[in-house]
Amino acid sequence: MTNPDERPSESHVEERASPWIAFRHRAFTVVWIATVVANVGTWMYNAASGWLMTSLNPDPLTVSLVQVAGSLPMFLFALPAGALADTVDKRRFLIGAEIVLTVVAAASAVLVWLDLVTPSILLLFTFLLGAGAAFTAPAWQSVVPQLVPKHDLAAAVASNGVGVNISRAIGPALGGVVIGGLGIAAPFWINALSNFAVIGALLWWRPPASQWSGLPPERLTGALVIGFRHARYNANLRATLIRAVAFFFFASTYWALLPLVARNQIAGGPELYGILLGAIGVGAVVGAFTLPSMKATLGSDRLVAAGTLGTALSLVLLGIARNSAIGIAACTVAGLSWIAVLASLNVSVQMSLPDWVRGRGLAMFVTVFFGAMTAGSALWGQLASALGLPTAHFIAAAGAVIGIAATWHWKLLSGAGVDLAPSMHWPAPVLAIDADGDRGPVLVTVEYRVADERRDAFLVAVRQLGQQRRRDGAYAWDVFEDAAEKGRFLETFMVTSWLEHLRQHHRVTNADRVVQDAIRAFGSASEPKVTHFIAASFGSSNELQ
């Protein structure tokens, strides 16, 4: 029997990361094709909206606001969207959201077609479409483990990266051609129509039946609080989020300023802008197919560092670009670097999350991703207005390099191979009083007997257990030592309600069980004594008399 705490080598994990493996599963293949079609429409819209804004108002800050309007909703709405993804039927939620997105996209196409669009209207619709993407992103990422078995998850993430970047390579270039041949409104119409592909795929797909805990779903506000708490005490997730900030803040520069590089610095038209965006996609597709070998050679942390250095190089090239050849070379390097970093971060996030909080954890990643992109886009737009395009690119390149050293302490994929399946080894509590679900708070105590010579080792180990308790919903935790009796320790933790404590029973993983069993080994042969206390309910004043 394999020890659940044993971790496979990173090279073994990457052997299963070939993008082709996931296509053995029909449901994944159908959904993948549909999302590629829809993403082609999205990238055509992004290219067309950025180019349209250069005609409506060519000020660098205003042009960069298109990127801000598209990414700000991810920062604002991804967290409640992640809570929704963990508490509702994901398939039905996605179907409804995609229908609404189709209507909004069609409305924007009508306004562009009738020549009624203004900079404010364009930013508004970009924001609305971004909001729709924000509400669906955690749910989309959460369904990936339902489309493939766990051992093919890394391959599915890599395949999705290939799909996104195929659409990124095709969409912008196709958008530039369509604008030149059919007019600026055509990409907006194609974007609206492309959503029917994912709606059809979701209507066709039947997800596998999930294990029902028998407990009612979490309320939205409570789910958000628990999600924040989990992210705070999940060390693997936290490390990935820190590394993400250091990369995306500086990488946002070329996404925000590329329309101006194409139009003003290289003096090209919409076709060149589409080609530059397409070059990013081509570089990313090449990077996706070489990703397994690159990870096997460098490891995830060094690969992210190499991708960041590649991004810095592309920013320098864009700063000096005065012809299309240098611009295309810069964008190709940017695309290869982008997928190397993004795929590594995405896999690290997926590996660090148990299923019960997957939507919220991915929402944290999306929030950090687009929060950094939004803040970066606004800053680089302002710097470009004040100092010029080249200087803004050079400053961002220097910042990206500094970020590598500043965040090197936080390691990626440290959760790979950890068994995050529910252990269900906690026994059901035996109650002598009525305890409805909302009653609380609840105080849980665990009494340990530890030999005096093992005291320090026990306290080190139990601190890790405290992280687990907080990560799974406890809002307070501590351990106390009996002042009158050596070797007697009392661990305490509190949760908001009895129902929330019952949920804790379903959140404990097999990896957690290994830690808990190790702590029990510090004590005597008898099991630690577990006691549950529920906040007392006082009767009326007449009853107390």
SS (H, E, C) 36-71: HHHHHHHHHHHHHHHHHHHHHCCCHHHHHHHHHHHH
- pTM across the whole model: 0.74
**Tokens 């080249």 -> residue:** 390
3-class secondary-structure state, position 25: coil
Q: Which residues contact 152 (CB under 8 A, 6 or more apart)?
A: 16, 21, 22, 24, 25
What pLDDT was estimated at residue 480? 95
pLDDT at 1: 34
* The two three-digit tokens of residue 517, written as one number: 């069993």
Q: Are 74 and 370 in contact (CB under 8 A)?
A: yes
* Residue of 140, 138, 142, 160 lying closest to 368 (CA atoms): 138
pLDDT in tens, 213-224: 567 777 778 888
pLDDT of residue 408: 93
CATH topology of domain 442-544: Alpha-Beta Plaits (3.30.70)
Q: Cα separation of 148 and 23, whole Å?
A: 9
Q: Which of 526, 535, 536, 531 is nearest to 430 (CA)?
A: 531
The CATH architecture assigned to 13-207+221-407 reads Up-down Bundle (1.20)
Residue spans per domain, the chain: 13-207+221-407, 442-544
Q: Which residue has the tokens 């939620």?
A: 93
What pLDDT, on a 0 to 100 scale, did the predictor assign at position 274? 77
Q: What angle do CA 51, 53, 57 make, to 5 degrees?
A: 130
Predicted confidence at residue 5, as pLDDT, reads: 37
Please report the pLDDT score of residue 414 as a whole number. 55
Give the model's pLDDT for residue 519: 83
Both structure tokens of 474? 């406890």
Q: Which residues of the chain have pLDDT under 70?
A: 1-19, 209-214, 414-417, 432, 437, 523-526, 537-545
